[in-house]
Amino acid sequence: MKPLDIDADRRVVGPFELLARLGAGGMGVAYLARRIPLEGLPDEMAAAYRLVESDDGDADPGRLVVVKMIQPHLLDEPQARERFAREVDAVRAVVSDRVPALRAADPEAPEPWFAMDYVAGPSLHTLVKESGPLDVGPYAALGLALVDALAAIHGTGLLHRDLKPSNVVLGPDGPVVLDFGLAVLTERRSSQALTRTGDRMGTRPYMPVEQLRDTKHVEEPADVYALGATLFFALTGRPPYPLMPLMSPPKWDGVDVGFLPLLAQVLVASPSQRPRLDAVRESLFALLADAGVTFDAATEQLRARVAASGLTPKLPPRALADRADPAVQELAQKAVDEGAAPDAPWAEDDPGFYGLVDTDEIERAADAVDGPGGPGGYTPTLVDPDPAPPARGDESGEAAPPAPTSYPLPAPRPEEPDPVDPTDPTDPTDPTDPAATTPSAPQAPPRAAQRVASRLRERYAHRGDL
């Protein structure tokens, strides 16, 4: 967690105050943020932001969220917005304690973003690397939580396709699965698929052979394999294969014999031979029973292990405050009062945090919200913490599947024309009408309302039952 960069990072995104930079990869940036309580926020603007309140209906200004954005240099790349919007839909679709809840999003903004609950805790990768492998109780508790997460994801028709230790956060309420940048809603059956046959996406040490060969056509067993590879790391501190998946079994050094029955079934090259999630759950409960540990005790052991590690990221001072920064809130509120979105309530050329802004500057900032930006390619924000060099084959001399040196995005599809407005464009006016001789300036609806209306027209235009 790093302080904001004055020259590069914004202070407001949608109705959220950015507090710190959580991480950045080749494709995106994640920020710690807090909701700014704004009065008089128009309904169309709230609809454009897709705001979701907490279960008790309170906006809870003290709630911390993660705001995720596309890297600015990718905004002009083809398909970025579509893939980003699909990630938003994936996070929204999965309702589970093992997946952070979506709180707001604006994938149609010039700089698309979405906000989800912040989970305070270290990643599994950090915990194991810094404090060592897990014992049987925490290991089983971790595995059962990941099974629940994948069951919820698969229950909505989604695949994750990038489960790995750095995408598992150990929060105060247990493990949570992050990063849906490669999630897919069986897109291989859709004419609008973003992943083409032969594309290779994911993290090589934690993906199965079939995903390395062709990411588009993987099924649920690919996520089961990634679950097994993540559990293998929890026991050993390393992935089952250092470079990429192989057809031969992994080396079992450091794996106690009691864990072999489960991992040996999961970490196989053939997808049809891997167990289903229900069978993995039963094996984990059997492991607990053999060790004489109850599920509740195992869960508490994992929580105690995380707390004792001292690896939970320390929050910046601003995050500990009850409310948003008063100066930021005032500027954002002014933008709302003037009818502009609070994405950037000060002028774009203001280099400071709290530049004094008058009404004209607020209006110019509102105009800047609709600035240039284009579609582009998008994959998960956080790179794997242990990047591996290209593979040359395993030690036994067996030829390994070819390792991709990069994961190119598919060529862009021709953009579909905007839906045609069915209203009659011609409306002759009687020149004798007094109103015709006194023209008045048209009153355009707010830009947020225009975006909502555009989405509705597009959805209705593609419905076959109308």
Confidence of residue 368 (pLDDT cuts 50, 70, 90): very low
Chain segment 38-71, per-residue pLDDT in tens: 888 888 888 888 887 655 445 555 689 999 998 7
Whether 138 and 16 map to the same domain: the answer is no
The token pair that represents 10 in the structure block: 């914004």
Whether 105 and 254 map to the same domain: the answer is no
Whether 272 and 129 map to the same domain: the answer is yes
User: In this model, does residue 210 exceed pLDDT 50?
Assistant: yes
Q: What is the mean pLDDT of residues 380-403?
A: 44
Half-sphere exposure of 371 (CA within 13 A, CB side): 14
Chain segment 328-340, per-residue pLDDT in tens: 999 889 888 888 8
In-domain check, residue 82: yes
Mean pLDDT for all residues in the chain: 76
> What pLDDT, on the 0 to 100 scale, is given for residue 348?
46
The token pair that represents 300 in the structure block: 């508490």
CA dihedral 381→382→388→391, nearest 10 degrees, is -30
Confidence of residue 383 (pLDDT cuts 50, 70, 90): very low
Q: Tell me the C-alpha to C-alpha distance, in Å, between residue 53 and each of 59, 103, 115, 119, 120.
A: 5, 7, 12, 17, 20
Q: What is the mean pLDDT of residues 246-262?
A: 94
One-letter amino acid identity for 452? V
With a CB cutoff of 8 Å and minimum separation 6, the contacts of 445 are 44, 453
In-domain check, residue 435: no
Whether 247 and 304 map to the same domain: the answer is yes
Domain tally, the chain: 2
Whether 219 and 249 map to the same domain: the answer is yes
> What pLDDT, on the 0 to 100 scale, is given for residue 78?
59
Cβ contact 35:15 at 8 Å: yes
Lowest model confidence (mean pLDDT) among 217-221, 271-275, 323-327, 385-389: 385-389
Q: Tell me the C-alpha to C-alpha distance, in Å, between residue 31 and each of 5, 10, 24, 268.
A: 11, 10, 9, 37
In-domain check, residue 300: yes
User: In this model, does residue 87 exceed pLDDT 60?
Assistant: yes
In-domain check, residue 150: yes
In-domain check, residue 260: yes
Q: Which domain holds residue 62?
A: 12-119+315-323+333-368
CA dihedral 111→116→117→119, nearest 10 degrees, is -80
Map 150-204 to HEC letters.
HHHHHHCCCECCCCCHHHEEEECCEEEECCCCCCECCHHHCCCCCCCCCCCCCCH
Whether 112 and 128 map to the same domain: the answer is no
Calculate what percentage of the chain has a pLDDT beyond 90: 42
Whether 154 and 275 map to the same domain: the answer is yes
Whether 343 and 280 map to the same domain: the answer is no
Between CA 462 and CA 459 the distance in angstroms is 5
Chain segment 110-130, per-residue pLDDT in tens: 888 999 999 999 999 999 999
More confident residue, 85 or 114: 114
User: In this model, does residue 350 exceed pLDDT 70?
Assistant: no
In-domain check, residue 404: no
> What pLDDT, on the 0 to 100 scale, is given for residue 356?
30
Confidence of residue 451 (pLDDT cuts 50, 70, 90): low
With a CB cutoff of 8 Å and minimum separation 6, the contacts of 56 are none
pTM: 0.71
In-domain check, residue 428: no
More confident residue, 58 or 315: 315
Confidence of residue 179 (pLDDT cuts 50, 70, 90): confident
Q: What is the mean pLDDT of residues 140-150?
A: 98
Q: Tell me the C-alpha to C-alpha distance, in Å, between residue 83 and each of 27, 88, 101, 108, 374.
A: 11, 9, 19, 12, 13
Q: What is the mean pLDDT of residues 193-209?
A: 66
In-domain check, residue 294: yes
More confident residue, 10 or 164: 164
Whether 36 and 166 map to the same domain: the answer is no
Q: Look up the CATH number of the domain holding residue 221.
A: 1.10.510.10
> What pLDDT, on the 0 to 100 scale, is given for residue 146?
98
Confidence of residue 341 (pLDDT cuts 50, 70, 90): confident
Confidence of residue 452 (pLDDT cuts 50, 70, 90): low
Tell me the β-bridge partners of 169: 123, 176
Whether 298 and 160 map to the same domain: the answer is yes
Which of 135, 136, 205, 148 is closest to 175 using CA atoms? 148
> What pLDDT, on the 0 to 100 scale, is given for residue 216?
77
Among 275, 309, 343, where does a domain finish? Answer: 309
Whether 108 and 164 map to the same domain: the answer is no
Q: Look up the CATH number of the domain holding residue 44.
A: 3.30.200.20
Whether 37 and 155 map to the same domain: the answer is no
Q: What is the mean pLDDT of residues 458-466?
A: 44
Confidence of residue 28 (pLDDT cuts 50, 70, 90): confident
User: In this model, does residue 14 exceed pLDDT 50?
Assistant: yes
